[in-house]
Amino acid sequence: MTNILLCLLLGASAAVVDEGQLNQEAEDAMVGAPPGAPLPESAQGVGDPFPSGLPLEWLGPLSDNLRFTLDLSGRFEYATDSQEWSITQMYGFDLFKVLSDRRGDFATIVMQGFATRINNNPNPPWFFDGPTDWEFIYRIFSINWKLAPRGALNLKMGHFEMPFGLETLIDTNGTLRQMGTARNLGIKADWGATLNGVVNGMQYEFGLGRGSGQQWQSAGSPYDFVGRIGTDPDKGWWVGVSGFAGSLYRPNGLIARRRIGIDAGIERGSWTFMGEVSGGDNDDDSAIQFLGDVSWRDPEQKWFLYGQLQVNKQRSAASGWFGTTQTNLGVEWAPDQHWTLSAQWVQNLEPAANGQRDALIQMQARYRF
C-alpha cells in the first residue's frame, strides 16, 4: 500500500499535461474540508470529524476534544482528448478542537491547510502563478462561537465553505466526488463570517464574504452574500433552499454571480438519492445548474459507489445556450481508517469542436495519520 502512495506522490515529475486539465472542478476539490466535517458543525453537535489522528495525550488537558491529523494525497488525471496526464499532490493537516469551560462547550475550531503542487498545467486556478507551481491552500480556517443555547445561534469567522446546496450537508472536498459548487457559484470557500444554527429542527447558515476566495483581495471591492435553510437530514430525508449573490475577484476584473437553488435527498438503507437545481445569472447571461447523485455504501463502510449527472449551462444573446453536460461514475475503497483509494470516470456528453465526446479518468490515493 505504501508503494502506491509513493508512486502517486513522487511521480509528478514524469508527467506532461495539456491545457484545461486542472480546471474549476479541480479547484472545487482542493479548497474544501475533508470527508466527515460537514457544515455547520453546530448542526450536528460536538463531534470528532476525523477517522484517524496523532496521539496527543501528552498535551494534558489541551488534548480534550482535540484531533490533529496529517493528510497526504496524490492524484493522476488522464484526458482522452489530449492523451496527456495531469498530477496534483496535496500535503496537509487537519486540526479540530472544541473549546469548553465549566459551563460546557462554547466554540469549535477547524483549521485545514495544504501545500499543493500542480505539474505542467497551462490552465490552473487563478491563484496559482503558473502551470507548475506550489501554493498553500486554505480549506477551512474558522472558529464557530456559540451565542445561544442548544446551537440555536452561532457566529463563524474565518475561511469557510459556501453554505449553498448539497455541499453544505454532503462534504466531498479533497475527494474525486464533487457537487460542483465552485463551477456553479464561481467560488467555493471565502474569508468572512456567517450566522448559523438549528431552530425547531431547521438548519440555517447565512454569511458575508470578501468575494476573493483563497486570497484576501480587495481590488474592486468584491463581496458575496450566501445562505441556506433546510430540514434536518438526520431524519433520513431533507429539503433545502439556498441563495447566492456576489461580485467576485479575478486578476483581470470582477465577475458577477447570482443564484437561487433548491436541494433534496432521501436515504433508503445503503442507498442515497440526491438532487440540486439552481438558476440565476453569470454577469449578463442567464444560467442554470442541475445535479443528480445516486450512491451506495456497504454495511462495513469500506466500499462507496456513486453515479452523477451534472449540467451547467448559460445563455448569451449572441450564441444562445452553451455549457457542459457530463456523467460521473466513481468508486472509493477505505480498507482501514488511514487509507482511501478512489477512481472516477468523467464522461462529457456534449461533443467538442472535433465532434468527439471526451472523457477524464481520475485516480487518487489518500493517507491520513
Q: For 2-46, give the DSSP string.
A: HHHHHHHHHGGGG----TTSS-HHHHHHHSSPPTT--S-GGGG-S
Q: What is the CB neighbour count within 10 angstroms for residue 102?
A: 4
pLDDT at 22 (0 to 100): 40
The reported pLDDT for the residue numbered 1 is: 45
Per-residue pLDDT reduced to its tens digit, 169-219: 987 778 999 999 999 999 999 999 999 999 999 999 999 999 999 999 999
CATH architecture of 2-368: Beta Barrel (2.40)
Grid coordinates belonging to 30: 482542493
Q: How far apart are CA 149 and CA 145, in angstroms?
A: 11
Give per-residue pLDDT as tens, 2-32. Answer: 444 344 444 433 333 333 334 444 445 454 4
In which residue ranges of the chain is pLDDT below 50?
1-27, 29, 31-51
In angstroms, the CA 294 to CA 252 distance is: 38
Residue 237: alpha-carbon gap to chain centroid: 21
Give dist(CA 315, CA 73) in Å, integer.
38
Q: 355 CB contacts (<8 Å, ≥6 apart)?
A: none
pLDDT on residue 286? 96
pLDDT at 32: 42
CA-closest candidate to residue 53, choices 37, 39, 31: 37
Q: What local confidence, expressed as pLDDT, does residue 49 receive?
A: 43
pLDDT of residue 308: 98
Instruction: Name the residue among 70, 16, 99 with its Cα closest to residue 366.
Output: 70
Give the Cα separation of 368 and 218 in Å (integer): 35
Q: How many CA atoms lie within 13 A of 233 on its CB side?
A: 23
pLDDT at 122: 59
